[in-house]
Structure 1
Amino acid sequence: MSNKEFEQQLQRSVAQLTKEIQPQRDLWPGIEHALNHEQDSQPKSNSWAFQSMAAAFLMIGLFGWLGFNQMQGGDRTEQLVTVLSEPYQQQKQRLLASYANQPALTDNWQQQVQELDDAAAAIKLALKEEPDNPALLKMLKQVYQQQIDLIERVHAPAWQTI
């Protein structure tokens, strides 16, 4: 079959196709349910977004306050670690409480959270040795954020939301 014959055959086949494909069942009930479910869950996601933003602003403000405060060495570092840790611990506890009755996607997520807790403890020990190390503070913040993300992903995966 030559290229020209193939093109003609392809054009005939395309012309024979129906222009519109109808679904095998009515899709509107599912769409309506998804829209209603999205509206019901919308305030919750906005609430978590607001709480996360509030915690971030709180941390920024406390970091600024501690930067201007004239404390010495270890005391300043301990307070900085406490200021960094408390909002994440509170948010972690709120998440765990809100997802207490929901099944998790994996069985070992609590072990993963514990490993991240151990990593945070190791970073805190390193901060005692190097109190002015900004990389360690950033690592601590990232470990806490990983915990929050892990808890959210295990209980409310992205593929379940529309």
Structure 2
Amino acid sequence: MNKQNFERDLQRRITELQKDRQPQRDLWPGIEYALNRQQEEVPLRSGKPFLGLAAAVAVIGFVGWLSFSPSPVGQGDPSLVAALSQQHQQQKQALLASFADQPALTQNWQEQLDELDGAAEAIKQALEEDPNNLALLKMLQQVYQQQIDLIEKVHAPKWQQI
């Protein structure tokens, strides 16, 4: 079929199409149900990202406060690292408990979480040798935040995915 015949045939078929086409059934009940269900789920899920954000702000504020205090951070006292680790563990356990009934989107997310745990342990060991190193404290906080983000992304509802 040459180009001229194709264009003529296409134009003929376009003019033959129905101008006003109606669906076979009423679609509004399904649309209304989906919108209402989404509105019901949003308040339940909307607090979780803020939980991670609040924890990150608290840790950054705590590290910042310690950096401006007159005494040096730590001096062999691992209380900051212990407090940071304890807070992270509580937050992680709360997230895992809240997502316990939801299926994970990937199969290997536990392995990724374990790898991040290994990174956190390596940073903690480095902090034992140099407790005043703010860069290491920030790295530890970032690894913890990556774990929280991983848990949230792996258990995100399908309607939140792009």
TM-score by length of 1: 0.75
Taking the TM superposition and a 5 Å limit, the aligned residue runs for 1:147-162 are 147-157=147-157, 159-161=158-160
Q: How does 1:11-160 map to 2 (within 5 A)?
A: 11-72=11-72, 74-75=74-75, 78-130=78-130, 131-132=132-133, 134=135, 136-157=136-157, 159-160=158-159
Q: Aligned pair in 2 of structure 1 residues 87, 37: CA closer, same or farther (>3 Å)?
A: farther
Stretches of structure 2 that go unaligned for 5 or more consecutive residues are none
Instruction: Specify whether residues 38 and 132 from structure 1 end up closer, same or farther in structure 2 by C-alpha distance, changes over 3 A only.
Output: same
The structure with the greater share of residues assigned to helix is: 1
Note the alpha carbon deviations across 1:86-141, whole angstroms, 9 max, x for none: 4432221111121223333445433332222122101221233444252x334323
Calculate percent identity across the aligned residue pairs.
56
Measure, in 2, the Cα distance between the counterparts of 1:69 and 1:145: 25
Number of residue-to-residue matches in the alignment: 160
Q: Name whichever of 72-81 and 141-150 sits farther off.
A: 72-81
* TM-score, normalised relative to structure 2: 0.75
Q: CA deviation at 1:62?
A: 0.9
State the AA in 2 paired with 1:32: E
CA contact (8 A) 2:105 2:155 kept: yes
Aligned partner of residue 75 in structure 2, secondary structure: helix
1:57-95 residue CA offsets vs partner (Å, 9 max, x unmatched): 322321221011133365378344345434432221111
Q: Which moved more, 1:19-28 or 1:41-50?
A: 19-28
Instruction: Give the secondary structure class of the aligned counterpart of 1:71.
Output: coil
| Letter paired with 2:109 | W
Please give the root-mean-square deviation of Cα atoms over the aligned residues, in Å: 3.0
Gaps in structure 1 of 5+ consecutive residues: none
8 A Cα contact 2:120 2:143, kept in partner: yes
Q: 1:86 to 1:24 in 2, by over 3 A?
A: farther
Matched position secondary structure for 1:75: coil
**Distance in 1 (alpha carbons) for counterparts of 2:102 and 2:133:** 41
